[in-house]
Structure 1
C-alpha cells in the first residue's frame, strides 16, 4: 500500500463523517486507488479498507453513541438508504438510523457494486448500486 492509497482511505473516512464527500464520490476515489471493498464496523467504530492484493487499512471512525436494536428491520435500513440517496440526512444520521434498525455494520463491495447490511443475528440486507 502506498502513501497515496492510505491518504485516500483516510480522506474518505473523514469526508463521510463531515459530509464533505458523498457516497458516489467516496466510491470513485477508493476505486481509483485500487480499493475493492470496505467494512464499516459500528461496534468497533472503525472502517477497514481492502485492496485487491490483500492489503488492508483500519481507520477509526467514531460513530454516534446509540444502542443497536436487536430486531433487524430491512424496511428501516432501506428507508435510511433511500434518504441518503436523496441527500436528506448526514452520514452520522444514517448510522443512527441503521443502528436503530438493528444494523451492526455493512460491507461495501465496490467491484461487486453492492452493499451488504447485517444485523446481530446474521440477518443481511443487500442493496445494489443504482445504475
Structure 2
C-alpha cells in the first residue's frame, strides 16, 4: 500500500478516536483515497482498511474499556448507532465502543459501495445498518 493511503487511513483512525472528524467526513476521505471499506475488530483492537485490488492495511486501535458481552443485543446496538448519528455533546467513539461491546458487538464491517455497516456478535448474529440518505 502506498504511503499516501497509509497516512489517510492512519489519520482517519486517529480522527475517529479523538473526535476531530465525524463518520461522514471519514468515509469521504477514505472513499477519496480509493478504499472500498474497513472492518473494526474489538477482539483484537484493530481496524483493517481494504482496497478493491485485495490490498489491505491493518492498524492497531486504542483499546476501549470493558469486554464484549456474550449475547448480541441488536436493539441496543441500533440505539447506540442512533446516538452516534445524532452526535450529541456526550458522544465519543470511545464511549460508543465501550457501550456497543457491552451490547455484545464484537466488531463491524463497513462497505462503501454497499452503503451499509454490518455489526456482528460473537455468535455471528448481525445488525445491518444502511447509510442514512
TM-score by length of 1: 0.97
Match 1:116 to one of 115, 118, 125: 118
Gaps of 5+ in 1: none
Per-residue CA deviation, residues 62-114 of structure 1 (Å, 9 max, x unaligned), is 12131111111111000110000000211111101110100000000111100
Shift >4 Å, 4+ stretches: none
Retained in 2: the 8 A contact 1:64–1:92? Answer: yes
| Residue of structure 1 equivalent to 2:105 | 103
| Residue of structure 1 equivalent to 2:62 | 62
Q: Distance in 1 between matches of 2:113 and 2:8?
A: 17
Q: Distance in 2 between matches of 1:128 and 1:64?
A: 25
| Residue of structure 1 equivalent to 2:71 | 71
Gaps of 5+ in 2: none
Matches within 5 A, 1:85-100: 85-88=85-88, 89-100=91-102
Q: Distance in 2 between matches of 1:21 and 1:113?
A: 19
CA RMSD in angstroms comes to 0.7
TM-score by length of 2: 0.96
Matches within 5 A, 1:42-61: 42-61=42-61
Number of residue pairs the alignment of both structures matches:
131
